[in-house]
Amino acid sequence: MIYDNDAFFEQYKRLRLEDTGLNGKMEEPCMRPMLGDVSGLRVLDIGAGFGHQAAWLKEHNAQAVVALDPSANMFAHATARHAGKGITFVHGYYEDQVFDDPFDLIVSSMALHYVEDLAPFFAKCHGELVEGGHLVFSMEHPVCTANPTGYSEDGGGKFWRLTDYFREGERVQTWFVDGVRKTHRTLSTVINALIAAGFAIRQVEEPAPMDREYPEGEKTTDYFWIRPSIVVIKAGK
């Protein structure tokens, strides 16, 4: 669990708490409208991290929020930061959990690229939703996970080098520290795994920066515009 690497965790915590990463600039502004009205809903947050989304759900009148994360560092920080807010925090992997009651909504923010096998994961999500319930999740875009070596530059400017897109499987990259492991899969693999689990696709978004416009008429050097960073998917039962 990379988030229990203290060197990694301290740098990641600074990124998230200062809101300088992809979450605040693109993911949250795109994903939260896709959740719809959460008032009165029973919600499961998988990969809850620091508890930002769980707290937002409670602030928007979700009836119950269960926030799950396998990282001991994340669990400790989230429970301390959001004590007294009525959120049920659970430390552990989703695959190992048994819940007594179904959920109206399952959300997951930037976690599924760490899941090795999506088929049983999506099947479990489908089985734990009420009829008419939804799964809404974000993950690193497959364009990013295919060859996670960062940006390059040549005489024409900055670009993202896309290779090995169709070679699915583990990728190891340097992100704050060496040895960060993620699983790359094509976008069609993700969507077809949802369909195979019994979901109906409701919405797919590839968010761009929402705080500034694309610089028309010139080749941009703004790395948020060069390639899709995130994909957000809403699927219904």
**pLDDT digit string (tens) for the chain, length 237 residues:** 788 898 988 888 888 777 666 787 789 999 999 999 999 999 999 999 999 999 999 999 999 999 999 999 999 999 999 999 999 999 999 999 999 999 999 999 999 999 999 999 999 999 999 999 999 999 999 999 999 888 888 877 788 889 999 999 999 988 888 888 999 999 999 999 999 999 999 999 999 876 556 556 555 556 778 889 999 999 999
Give residue 220's pLDDT: 54
Radius of gyration of the CA atoms of the chain, in A = 18
Q: Which residues contact 218 (CB under 8 A, 6 or more apart)?
A: none
DSSP notation for the chain:
-GGG-HHHHHHHHHHHHTT-SHIIIIIHHHHHHHH---TT-EEEEET-TTSHHHHHHHHTT-SEEEEEES-HHHHHHHHHHTTTSSEEEEES-GGG---SS-EEEEEEES-GGG-S-HHHHHHHHHHTEEEEEEEEEEEE-HHHHHS-S-EEEETTEEEE----TT--EEEEEEESEEEEEEEE--HHHHHHHHHHTT-EEEEEE-PPPSSS---TTS----HHHHS--EEEEEEE-
CATH class name, domain 2-140+184-217+230-236: alpha beta
Read off the amino acid at residue 122.
F
Bridge-based pairing of strands 129-140 and 230-236 is antiparallel
What is the secondary structure of 140-154 as a DSSP string?
Answer: E-HHHHHS-S-EEEE
Q: Are 232 and 27 contacting, i.e. CB atoms less than 8 angstroms apart?
A: yes
| Residue 119 pLDDT | 97
CA neighbor of 52 nearest in space, from 107, 133, 99: 107
Angle among Cα 49, 30, 89 to the nearest 5 degrees reads 20
Cα gap 159→102, rounded to integer Å: 45
Tell me how far apart the alpha carbons of residues 221 and 211 are, in angstroms, rounded to a whole number: 16
Cα 106 from Cα 128, distance rounded (Å): 9
